[in-house]
Structure 1
Amino acid sequence: MPWLLLVGAIVAEVTGTISLRYSEGFTRLVPSAITVIGYGAAFWLLAQVLKSGMNIGVAYGVWAAVGVSLVALIGALFLGDGLTWIQIGGIGLVIAGVMALELGAAH
């Protein structure tokens, strides 16, 4: 159950971040509202994950790493942002770091 909540937190955070791009500095109502709701839901869900007993380093690491990776990929694939090989390597390193946190927490 905590992992399902964590997935929900990631989806909410990514949705909020993508909407932030379209909010034009919080001057457009709908994207601004989606941003606020998305971030609020993300933090509430992350709090529930922590309440369930998941290690904070693992929970936050996975949340942040998967979120930033998804936002970068969505930006590159659908929003016209560039993504260099160095950035792709950086995403790989972030994911490897989170995997190290997870593996280390298992012991």
Structure 2
Amino acid sequence: MMWAFLGVAIVAEVAATMSLRAAVTGPKVWCFPVALGYLLAFSMMSFALRAGMGIGVAYGIWAAAGVAITATLSKWIFKEPLTPVMAAGIVLIAAGVLLVELGAAG
């Protein structure tokens, strides 16, 4: 169940962040999904931790997935750049999270 909580936390955080970008450039009504999304994200993260997931692993996966998904969606939705150097950075973040995960298992 902890992985489901973490998955919801990631989706909610990405949705909140994308809504934040919309709130800055568009109608202020987007502030409501921002607040709701972050509240849900932190609540689900706390449930994942309470279910037994380690904080290093949970936060690493949450942060890496959030960066990768947000960067990709921002390119498609807001036409922001996603350069090869940025993509390499995302790969390095994912590799770092993998190392943390492997370290936690051993």
TM-score between both structures, scaled by the size of structure 2? 0.95
Cα deviation code 1:41-75 (max 9, x no counterpart): 00000000111111100000000110011000111
Matched, 1:64 2:63: yes
The two structures, once aligned, show a CA RMSD in angstroms of 1.4
- Give me the identity figure in percent: 42
Following the alignment from structure 1 to structure 2, what is the Cα–Cα distance between the partners of residues 86 and 37?
33
Following the alignment from structure 1 to structure 2, what is the Cα–Cα distance between the partners of residues 23 and 77?
17
Following the alignment from structure 2 to structure 1, what is the Cα–Cα distance between the partners of residues 57 and 26?
32
Say if 1:5 and 1:45, in contact at 8 Å, map to a contact too: yes
Aligned length, in residue pairs: 106
Name the structure where helix makes up a greater proportion of residues: 2
Say if 1:6 and 1:46, in contact at 8 Å, map to a contact too: yes
Structure 1: 5+ residue stretches without partners: none
1:77 CA displacement = 2.2
Structure 2: 5+ residue stretches without partners: none
